[in-house]
Structure 1
Amino acid sequence: MSSEVMAIEQVTLNGNTVTLLPLQAGHAEPLVQAAEDGELWNMKVTVIPGPATVETYIATALAGRVAGTVMPFAIVHRATGKIVGSTRFWKIDRKNRKLEIGHTWLGQSVQRSGLNTEMEYLLLEYAFEVMQCVRVQFTTDELNEKSRAAILRIGAKQEGIVRHERIMPDGRKRNSVRFSIIDDEWTEVKALLQAKLARFS
Structure 2
Amino acid sequence: MRVPILETKRVKLTLLTLNNYVKLIAIAQEKDLIYYSPNTISSSEKLKDYVKVAVNGYLNQTAIPFIIYDKVKQQYAGSTRFGLIHWKNKVLHIGWTWIGHEFQGTGLNKNMKFLMLQYAFETLVFDKVEFRIDERNQKSRNAVEKLGAILEGILRKDTIMKDGFRRSTCCYGILKEEWPTIKTRVFSKL
Same topology, TM > 0.5: yes
Name the TM-score, length of structure 2 as normaliser. 0.93
> Is the aligned partner of 1:13 residue 2:6?
yes
Structure 1 Cα separation of the partners of residues 23 and 121 of structure 2:
30
Name the TM-score, length of structure 1 as normaliser. 0.88
> Is the aligned partner of 1:169 residue 2:162?
yes
Runs of 5+ consecutive residues of structure 1 not aligned to the other structure:
1-7
2:52 alignment partner in structure 1: 59
1:101 alignment partner in structure 2: 94
Q: Which has the higher helix share?
A: 1
The alpha carbon displacement at 1:26 in A equals: 2.2
1:160 alignment partner in structure 2: 153
1:149 alignment partner in structure 2: 142
CA contact (8 A) 2:28 2:47 kept: no
Structure 1 Cα separation of the partners of residues 35 and 180 of structure 2:
35
1:81 alignment partner in structure 2: 74
Structure 2 Cα separation of the partners of residues 99 and 44 of structure 1:
23
Determine what percentage of the aligned residue pairs are the same residue.
34
What secondary structure, in the 3-state scheme, does the structure 2 residue paired with 1:11 have? coil
2:31 alignment partner in structure 1: 39
**Aligned-residue CA RMSD (Å):** 1.4
The alpha carbon displacement at 1:15 in A equals: 0.9
> Is the aligned partner of 1:130 residue 2:128?
no
1:148-178 residue CA offsets vs partner (Å, 9 max, x unmatched): 0011011111111101221111111110000
Runs of 5+ consecutive residues of structure 2 not aligned to the other structure:
none
The alpha carbon displacement at 1:48 in A equals: 5.0
Structure 2 Cα separation of the partners of residues 28 and 69 of structure 1:
19
Structure 1 Cα separation of the partners of residues 40 and 71 of structure 2:
22
The number of residue pairs the alignment matches comes to: 188
